[in-house]
Amino acid sequence: MNIVQALNNAMDIKMAEDNDVVVLGEDVGKDGGVFRVTDGLLAKYGPERVIDTPLTELGIVGMAIGMAVNGLKPIPEIQFQDFIYTAMDQIINQMAKIRYRSGGDYTVPLVLRTPVGGGIKGGLYHSQSGETYFAHTAGLTVVSPSNPYDAKGLLISSIESPDPVIFLEPKRLYRSQKADVPEDKYTVPLRKANLLREGNSVTLVTYGSMVPTVLSTVDKNGIDADVVDLRTIAPLDKDTIISSVKKTGRVVIVHEAPRTLGVGAEVSAMISERAIEYLYAPILRITGPDTPFPYRLEDYYLPNEQRIMAAIKKVMEYR
């Protein structure tokens, strides 16, 4: 399966298992979604459970929150994460806070899915990576898979979560990543990072779209590295990161989103607070620059092997 097929399979399994699971969004029904992630679900489960909505992101999220509070398990889709900002009031002031505002009397068990990031020549309004806005909001779990197996298992875990999950799908990995994925139901735990490679010289912390780039860089150049795929951006799996840092003493963080106040900044601060005495070199970040996403310079904007290797070399040679 590729990631599109894995996500579709996850929703199919949960919709067959639980009549309270519903899908809603722009073109998710007849057209199967802008990237065809919901393809076939309308024919199988009908228009009362696969709902085409008007072009109103604020309305989609608000309706999904109302559904969730009243016992359903909605999976709203926003066509591009860039469009989600018109719904931020519903996300930050309602979705994230209803459990706390009601003292636990009401919860919001929904999964807000949206494609994220660049790599498909979408330009500055279809390529942004805004995970830090959501990670900064208490009450939200923020997930970003990097491969088909994790995509299916993480989405099922998210649907079964009693609280809201922001599910960020790297659009450039949708069909470029393929793997053997079990047809049957399984879960991948939320809030747990994955140690993809084990080494002793340096720790590479990454997630989402950058995971294949980091893995190919490490493998191609024979780097003796731990590669940590966060999988859940918020809350962080601090134990896995710190355990690796205590072993290697050198850290490079790689993500596509802009540098300032990004996830890399939080990971770096957390390591500094908990394991600074184990570090042999400054922590380095390889990220997108602090500019709007450039259409013509997409390949320059996105972290690549050359930039990652320069950072690895710098921390390895630091004295």
* Sequence-ordered list of residues with C-beta below 8 angstroms from that of 117, at least 6 positions apart, any chain: 81, 127, 128, 129, 170, 171, 172, 208, 209, 256
Strands 73-77 and 232-234, bridge-based pairing:
unpaired
CB 171 within 8 A of CB 126: no
Bridge partners of 253, per DSSP, are 205, 285
Active site residue 136: no
CA distance 230 to 60: 28
Of the residues 73, 126, 171, 231, only one is catalytic, namely 126
**In the structure encoding, which two tokens stand for residue 213, read together?**
């780039």
Bridge partners of 234, per DSSP, are 142
* Sequence-ordered list of residues with C-beta below 8 angstroms from that of 66, at least 6 positions apart, any chain: none
CA distance 286 to 56: 35
DSSP-assigned states of every residue in 226-255: EEEE-SEEES--HHHHHHHHHHH--EEEEE
DSSP-assigned states of every residue in 100-131: HHTTTS-----EEEEEE--SSS--TTS----H
List residues with catalytic annotation: 126
